[in-house]
Amino acid sequence: MSVVKIWIHLVFATKNRQPFLTGAIRRDVFQHMHKNAKAKGIEMDFVNGYYDHVHCLFKLPAQMSIAYAAQLIKGESSHWINELELTNPRFEWQDDYYAESVSPKDVERIRNYIRNQEEHHRNTSFEKEIEGLDYFKD
């Protein structure tokens, strides 16, 4: 039996960085992403973000590429948001995403980073966050 333990930190934004993910919508979308990922065989550990972007921490299944996992998470969630008409205008994710493998020794640190997105973004814009990516450095 194969054993694969590849942790992925996936980050993606709303189309044109529109601040759609506010209040209860954000919580509901993140809970839905977590539940849907599990249904698709993705071991989602943590999902959180801010008004215009999402961070996911998950174990990549052996048979799945990062691109396909991102497609499943993003595609199904945007379909769900639009089906329930949670936003006006129509909701879309940006095409691009950022993904990086996470060492098992760094999982807790990345999980805490994702958990504290609201606090983090009081002082740091999403653009600066992606530009620097210094939160991965020791």
pLDDT 10s per residue in the chain (138 long)? 788 899 999 999 999 999 999 989 999 999 999 999 999 999 999 999 999 999 999 999 999 999 999 999 999 999 999 999 999 999 999 999 999 999 999 999 999 999 998 887 777 766 666 665 543 333
Question: What tokens appear for 60 in the block?
Answer: 């990549």
Contacts of 81 (CB under 8 A, 6+ apart): 20, 25, 29, 87, 91
- Residue 138's pLDDT is 35
7-13, strands of its sheet edge to edge? 43-50, 53-59, 7-13, 98-102
Q: What is the pTM of this model?
A: 0.88
Identify the structural domains of the chain with CATH numbers, from first to last.
7-136 (3.30.70.1290)
The DSSP code sequence of the chain is ------EEEEEEEBGGG-----HHHHHHHHHHHHHHHHHTT-EEEEEEEETTEEEEEEEPPTT--HHHHHHHHHHHHHHHHHHTT-SSS---B-S--EEEEE-GGGHHHHHHHHHTHHHHTTT--HHHHHHH-GGG--
- Residue 132's pLDDT is 57
Decide if 100 contacts 32 (C-beta within 8 A): no
- Residue 64's pLDDT is 95
